[in-house]
Amino acid sequence: MPAHRPTTPYDWDGRLVPYPADRACHYRQTGQWSDTPTGARLHETAVRHGDRVALITAEATLTYRQLDERTDQVAAALARLGLRRLDPILFQVTNKAHAVVAWYGCLKAGLVPVATLAAHRAHEIGHISTKVGAVAHIVEAGLKFDLVAFAHDVARGHPTLRHVLTIEAPVATDGTTRVEDLGSDIDPTTARALVESIEARTDPCDVAVFQLSGGTTGVPKVIPRIHAEYWNNALFYAQALGWTPETKVAHLIPLIHNAGISCALHAAHAVGATLVVATPDAPSAFELMARHEVTDALFGHGHYQAVQRPEFDKVRRTLRRALLSGAKVSHDLFRRVDDSEQRWAGQLFGMSEGLFTVTPLDAPEVARRETVGVPIAPSDEVRILDPSSEQEVDAGAIGELCCRGPYTIPGYFDAAEHNAIAFTPDGFYRTGDLASIRDIDGRGYVCIQGRIKDLINRGGEKINAEEIEVLLLRDPRIAAAAVVAMPDLRLGERACAYLVSVDGVELTMAQVQSHLDGLGVAKYKWPERLQWTEALPQTNVGKIDKKSLRADIAAQLEAEAAKSVAQVDDSFDHGALVHERHHA
Ligand code: AMP
C-alpha cells in the first residue's frame, strides 16, 4: 500500500480537519448529514426515476437507468484497473456526457475526484497532484491544448500518478485508457454488486471530492468535501428552488467545479430532474436549452450580456426560474429574466468551501433584485464580523461574511498554518467577502458588499493576486509587482499588473506572457494589461496600496473609453447620439 493512502477516514496523515463531534452529531440527528455514500445517492434516484431523462448534452441523452448502469460498469472497470478506494483522480475535462459518466464512475469506485480545470497547466496541476497524491489523471482529448500529452508529461517522474484516462479520444493511445471503453464487457449485475461492496466500506466522513479554493493567499488550497454532506448540499439547493422530476435544469459554466456539481449535476440528480449540460458558448447553449425546453438555469456574470441579446428570446419561452450570480444585477438584466408572473429571477452566492445563499422563492421583488438571499440549510450559521477584531458588527453594518454549518468545511486539506487564520477559533470560515444583512419584511437577507481577499474574479474563475505576483517576480527583470482587478464589461474583472522594472527597461506583454507560459501558469491567470511605474504606492503601514492601484486603473479605463467615444464622434459626426447613449 503506498505511503500516502489513509488508513481511517480522518487519518489522511493527519491532514484533514474533522467536524467537531457535537456539530457532526447534530447534523446527523437532524438528517442534514447522510450515511449513504454519494454514488449510492445517484442509484437511489435511478431506482425511483429509472425511465426519466437524467442527462442531455449536445451529443447524448441518458435516462437515469442508463446513467446508473453505465457508471456501475465504469466503476467496476476502474477497480479492475487497480484503482482503490480513496485514490485521488484529477479531472481536466469540459462539459461532456462522458465527463459526467467518469465523475459518477469514480465516485462509485470510491475514488476521490479532484476538480481541477481544463485550463490548468503544469504550475497548478503539478502542485495539486502532489499535494493530494493523485493516482490517476482523466483528461479530455481533442481540445486546442493537448491535455493527453500534458497528462503524460505530468506523470513523468511524479511520485504517485500511474494512470492516464481519456474522454473523447477516437482511439486509445499508448499508455491511456478511454473511459468510453471502460467496463462495457462487465455484466451490469456483477458491476452493481462490486459497487455495493465498495460502498459498504465507505465511511460517511470519507472524502468524496477534492475541490479547489479560488485562493486567498499563495497557491490554491485543497477543499475536502465528505460523503455525509456533499450530496445533501446539492439537495438543499434543489429544494430551495422547488425543483421536481419535471424540472429541466441547464448548466453553461464548467460542470466539474463546485458550483457545477452542487448547483447542477448533483442538485438535478438529487430530485430526479433532467440536467441539460451546455457549454459556455452562449449561442449554442441557448439553442440546446430552447430545443430541450429548459425551465431553470444559472447565469454567471460572463453570461449577463448574452442574456440581454435577442438570441436569448427562445430560451425565455420555457424558462421559469433564473439564478444570477457573481456580480450586481442591473434593473434591465433582472427584467429580462423576471416578469413577476411566469418568470422568476433570484440570486445565488456561494463558494467551494461550502455556504450557499439563494433567494427564497417567496421573497419580495426587492429581495430578489438587491440581495443574494438566505442560506440553504437549516443549520447554516452566518455572522458578519469586524475583520480585525472578529467581533460581530452592528445590525445592518458591513463586515466580513463568516459561516459554519453542515456543509461548510472545518478546514482546508493539509494547511494547518492557513487554517489558523482562515477560521475563527469557534470554527467559522472567514470567506474574505464583505457583506451586510438587510432586513426585509422581518427576514434577514445577505447583501454582498465587496471583498477583502486579494483576488480577481474573471468571469467566475478566480485569480489569486499574490500567486501571480510571486510568479512575475521570478523574472529577474521585474523588481516589484502588484496584480489588481480592472473592471471589464463582459467578464466583470480582468487582471492588471503594475510592474517596476529592474533597470528601467519595460518588458513587452509578449515577454511577460512567455515568462508565465514558461512557468506553466494557466492562461486565464495571465495579466491582460501591464502598467509600468517607477515605484508601487504604499499605505501608511508600508503595504502596497492596492486600493489606489484599482482606482487608478479604473480611472484610466474610463478615460480611454471616453476618448474612444470622442474619436468616434469626430469621425462620424453623430456625437450627440453616442453621448446620450453613454449617459442613458
Ligand atoms: P468559488 O469557490 O470559486 O465558487 O468562489 C467563491 C467566491 O466567489 C466567493 O467567496 C465570492 O468571492 C465570489 N462569489 C460567489 N458568488 C458571488 C455573488 N453572487 N456575488 C459576488 N461574488 C460572488
The amino acid sitting at 208 is A
Structure-block grid coordinates of residue 472: 512575475
Confirm or reject: Cβ of 451 under 6 Å from ligand 1: yes
In a domain, 6, yes or no: no
Q: Which of 374, 363, 281 is nearest to 321 (CA)?
A: 363
What residue's CA is closest to ligand 1, atom 23? 326
In a domain, 236, yes or no: no
Confirm or reject: Cβ of 491 under 6 Å from ligand 1: no
Structure-block grid coordinates of residue 136: 490517476
In a domain, 35, yes or no: no
In a domain, 462, yes or no: yes
Structure-block grid coordinates of residue 377: 440549510
- Tens of pLDDT along 235-286? 999 999 999 999 999 999 999 999 999 999 999 999 999 999 999 899 999 9
Residue 532's domain is classified under what CATH number?
3.30.300.30
> How many residues are given for the chain?
584
Helix (H) or strand (E) holding 80: helix 64-80
Question: Phi/psi of residue 356, each to 5°?
Answer: -125, 140
Torsion of CA 6, 220, 277, 315, to 10 degrees: 150
Cell numbers 467615444 label which residue?
Answer: 565
- Asked if 279 and 254 count as a contact pair (C-beta separation under 8 A), the reply is no
Confirm or reject: Cβ of 462 under 6 Å from ligand 1: yes
Q: Which of 35, 27, 39 is nearest to 70 (CA)?
A: 39
Structure-block grid coordinates of residue 182: 471502460
In a domain, 245, yes or no: no
Q: Which of 448, 453, 491, 524 has the most ligand 1 atoms within 8 A of CB, as the residue to mutate?
A: 448
Residue 139's domain is classified under what CATH number?
3.40.50.980
- Asked if 315 and 340 count as a contact pair (C-beta separation under 8 A), the reply is no
- Tens of pLDDT along 393-445? 999 999 999 999 999 999 999 999 999 999 999 999 999 999 999 999 999 99
Close Cβ partners of 559 (under 8 Å, ≥ 6 residues apart): none
Residues (pLDDT < 70) of the chain are: 1-11, 13, 215-218, 569-584
- For residue 568, the SS3 value is helix
Ligand 1 center to 7 CA (angstroms): 35
If one counts every other C-beta atom within 10 angstroms of the C-beta of residue 246, the result is 11
In a domain, 70, yes or no: yes
Among 152, 179, 202, residue at a domain's last position: 202
In a domain, 16, yes or no: no
Confirm or reject: Cβ of 139 under 6 Å from ligand 1: no
Residues of the domain holding 149: 65-202
Residue 136, beta-bridge partner list: 89, 163
pTM across the whole model: 0.93
Ligand 1 center to 401 CA (angstroms): 12
pLDDT at 572: 56
Residue 351, beta-bridge partner list: 354
In a domain, 139, yes or no: yes
pLDDT at 7: 43
Rg (CA), the chain: 24
What residue's CA is closest to ligand 1, atom 8? 351
Confirm or reject: Cβ of 448 under 6 Å from ligand 1: yes
Specify the number of domains making up the chain.
2
- Asked if 300 and 279 count as a contact pair (C-beta separation under 8 A), the reply is no
Cell numbers 527597461 label which residue?
Answer: 505
Confirm or reject: Cβ of 351 under 6 Å from ligand 1: yes
Among 183, 202, 221, residue at a domain's last position: 202
Among 174, 202, 230, residue at a domain's last position: 202
